[in-house]
Amino acid sequence: MMNTMDIDFSWNYFASAHGKGVVDGVGGILKRLVWLEIMAGKQCSSADGFVKICREKSQTISTILVRQAQLDVTKLTLE
């Protein structure tokens, strides 16, 4: 169509959770590590538990827990 109609167009597709960036890949790796632990019988029912498992299972990905209070303070500081 671009050649026959002399029309230029492009497709810009944006959607979260579709694995388009490096961060999505890292998140996928961590979720898989935690899921494998759950399938092996380990409990994970909180963000603290998720981070704990990530730290135990990955020596190459640094995982930190950011609590809502920390985000609130940062937001107020930036405003």
Hey, where are the domains in the chain? 22-78
Predicted model pTM: 0.67
What is the pLDDT, as a whole number, of residue 51? 97
Tell me the pLDDT tens digit for each residue of 17-62.
565 677 778 888 999 999 999 999 999 999 999 999 999 999 999 9
Residue 1 has pLDDT above 70, yes or no: no
What is the pLDDT, as a whole number, of residue 23? 76
Instruction: Supply the Cα-derived Rg of the chain in whole angstroms.
Output: 20
